[in-house]
Amino acid sequence: MFLYELRHRGTRHRPVVPPSRLAARAGDAALRGGDDRPYLRPRLAAALPRRATLPARRQPLAVARRRAGRAGRARPLDSLFVLRSAMRLSKSLIPTLKETPAEAQIVSHRLMLRAGMVRQMASGIYAWLPLGQRVLANIARIVREEQDAAGAEEVLMPTIQSADLWRESGRYDAYGKEMLRITDRHERELLYGPTNEEMITAIMRDAVKSYRELPQIPYHIQWKFRDELRPRFGVLRGREFLMKDAYSFDLDRAGAVVSYKKMMLAYMRTFQRLGITAIPMRADTGQIGGDLSHEFHVLAPTGESGVFYDAAFEAGDALAATDIEQFYAQMTGIYAATDEKHDLAAWNNVPPERRREGRGIEVGQIFYFGTKYSQAMDFAVTGPDGRRIHPEMGSYGIGVSRLAGAIIEARHDEAGIIWPDAVAPFRAVILNLRQGDAATDPLCEQLYAALGREALYDDREERAGVKFAEADLLGHPWQIIIGPRGAAQGQVELKRRATGERFELPVAEALVRVRG
RNA sequence: CGGAGCGUAGCUCAGCCUGGUAGAGCGCCAGCUUUGGGAGCUGGAUGCCGGAGGUUCGAAUCCUCUCGCUCCGACCA
């Protein structure tokens, strides 16, 4: 503890507090009315001579200890302990905001800033703070699991690419100003990748020679950059964004369509696991090229596009699907369209009671585009008859960082974010309503030790109201509320953020509930 | 890229029109009180007024240039 604090906090520009005064102030704090912790005094006496040699401190030890909610139970291994379980709110980089920064217009952007998830570093470019980083990691984890399950294989390609690669496909000039172009010290032309068709095709061209090595679906989760004319909506339309992109290589069109269908199922499973409703819709192929494409829209009242769909989608369960062909037929057989592609004739065939109109945020898109890149870049494998075959390709994107915003758009209320369990940065927050209390402190520590990284411990010296408000803002699925009255009897209150339900439970039962 | 607007304390903003000591609320720090839904009182710290140039005895304020950010439109995982 001492080393840790010395290293991290001891260099602040503060006047040195004379040892005598420090002792007096610390003593006062320990003896203050209502403080029922006599053990503080001997501990302080032991600690003070060491402390007096330290550089300027921000506060007397007793106060520091009270704030940190440590109840004076310092142990020799404290420094390690504190470093490992860093998610005590008092020691975390979670800079919440009471007021909304002026630049944020859309609800997810406001909430992400207010919850301390992200900070804008430049137009459309964000730093992800601990809470945001955890959400990103959780989304990426689920995306990864579903890609792997679909038979895709993870790789990691660089963010910086050579212009020459893009000249091969002809897209270096075609891509326009949205591509961020870079020149290195040797005047070589580089670019920050907006997508990776060219690069993955070059890799495959180099590595894959026989038809027996296909099909393959490499994917990676990597930062992309598209120099949008007008970044907006926070991470929903940033210039730099984290994307999962997969690329399928098959021998023929039939195989490519199978890959396409697999990916559609993987996408629907992914979105369902993320706790959101996403609907696949026929789409244009745009820059990528090709003739088969679907966009996936998350339903959210603040979405950018208007969407029309058949309520049959709401009943679908991708996690229960066993037959890919059947699932694909079902998905593509139900009416769904963005306002741009809305077809009134087809819409009128949907039974009126099943017609749904809403808003959607595009969080993914899949393409089949045949041999566009394998031809242009001459990636061919030797077929069974010795002839060269240009593989049939598809590409499949999921906006990982955009999903973080989209999930909030879909799941929030006036008080803040309502995280689905799967993506929440923490399953639970432990609210110590009376920091420094003889009953609440040990109980909170016990719960915190039991839950480990799954829990955030609000150990700050704040009023109950502040803790409640921030817990709601941050949106943890569970709030474990520990007040002096219940704590004395070993009871805690459990609040479910999504529903507002509250339960009075013994500690052990609460743990079971939270762990699900 | 076209149109509009905004840059003043960590955040939200006033002050600018009409030039003359840089402000409020919240947050932060210290103390006391309070303690189950963003408390109260007292004291304190914090600013290259985005940057550069100009006008003037004097510029946050007027003029010019510039950088950044936001909004509307076209574009987009």
Residues 167-196 of chain A sitting with CB below 7 angstroms of strand B: 178
CA of A12 to C1' of B10 (A): 17
Amino acid sitting at position A207:
A
pLDDT in tens, A427-451: 999 999 999 999 999 999 999 999 9
pLDDT in tens, A197-213: 999 999 999 999 999 99
Q: Average pLDDT of A363-374?
A: 94
pLDDT in tens, A112-137: 999 999 999 999 999 999 999 999 99
- In sequence order, the β-bridge partners of residue A416 are A413
Q: What ipTM was predicted for this assembly?
A: 0.94
* pLDDT at residue A501 in the model: 97
Indicate whether A168 pLDDT > 80. yes
* pLDDT at residue A290 in the model: 64
Nucleotides of B under 7 A from a protein CB: 1-2, 11-13, 25-27, 29-39, 68-77
CA of A129 to C1' of B61 (A): 38
Q: Is the CB of A105 under 7 A from strand B?
A: yes
pLDDT in tens, A16-69: 333 333 333 333 333 333 333 333 333 333 333 333 333 333 333 434 444 444
CA of A102 to C1' of B62 (A): 28
CA of A104 to C1' of B62 (A): 32
Residues 111-130 of chain A sitting with CB below 7 angstroms of strand B: 114, 120, 122-124
- Contact between A488 and A478 under an 8 Å Cβ cutoff? The reply is no
- From residue A28, alpha-carbon distances to A23, A35, A37, A118 in Å are 8, 10, 13, 40
CA of A475 to C1' of B51 (A): 40
CA of A60 to C1' of B45 (A): 19
> Could you tell me the domains of chain A?
2-72 (no CATH), 133-158+194-413 (3.30.930.10), 426-515 (3.40.50.800)
Residues 24-83 of chain A sitting with CB below 7 angstroms of strand B: 25, 28-29, 32-34, 58-60, 63
Confidence of residue A74 (pLDDT cuts 50, 70, 90): very low
Indicate whether A405 pLDDT > 50. yes
* pLDDT at residue A3 in the model: 32
CA of A251 to C1' of B29 (A): 69
Residues 478-507 of chain A sitting with CB below 7 angstroms of strand B: 481-486, 493, 495, 502
Q: Average pLDDT of A276-302?
A: 83
CA of A97 to C1' of B18 (A): 38
Instruction: State the nearest residue by CA to the C1' of B32.
Output: A32
Confidence of residue A289 (pLDDT cuts 50, 70, 90): low
Task: Name the nt closest to A123 by C-alpha to C1'.
Answer: B69
* pLDDT at residue A286 in the model: 63
Confidence of residue A1 (pLDDT cuts 50, 70, 90): very low
* pLDDT at residue A70 in the model: 35
- The residue count for chain A: 516
User: What average pLDDT does the structure give for chain A?
Assistant: 84
* pLDDT at residue A179 in the model: 92
Q: Average pLDDT of A287-310?
A: 84
Indicate whether A389 pLDDT > 90. yes
The span from the CA of A262 to the CA of A258, in Å, is 6
The span from the CA of A268 to the CA of A327, in Å, is 10
Residue keyed to tokens 């979105």:
A271
The span from the CA of A158 to the CA of A208, in Å, is 20
Q: Average pLDDT of A129-157?
A: 97
Structure tokens that stand for A205 in this block = 């061209």
Confidence of residue A229 (pLDDT cuts 50, 70, 90): confident
Q: Are strands A278-282 and A392-399 parallel, antiparallel or unpaired?
A: unpaired
Residues 421-480 of chain A sitting with CB below 7 angstroms of strand B: 433-434, 463-466, 468-473
Indicate whether A78 pLDDT > 70. no
CA of A90 to C1' of B72 (A): 42
Confidence of residue A285 (pLDDT cuts 50, 70, 90): low
* pLDDT at residue A371 in the model: 95
- Contact between A403 and A278 under an 8 Å Cβ cutoff? The reply is no
Give me the sign of the Cα torsion angle A269, A275, A277, A283.
negative
Contacts of the segment A144-150: beta carbons below 8 A, 24+ positions apart = A144/A221, A144/A244, A146/A266, A146/A267, A146/A269, A146/A270, A146/A273, A147/A217, A147/A219, A147/A244, A147/A246, A147/A266, A149/A266, A149/A269, A150/A217, A150/A262, A150/A263, A150/A265, A150/A266
The span from the CA of A192 to the CA of A184, in Å, is 12
- In sequence order, the β-bridge partners of residue A222 are A243
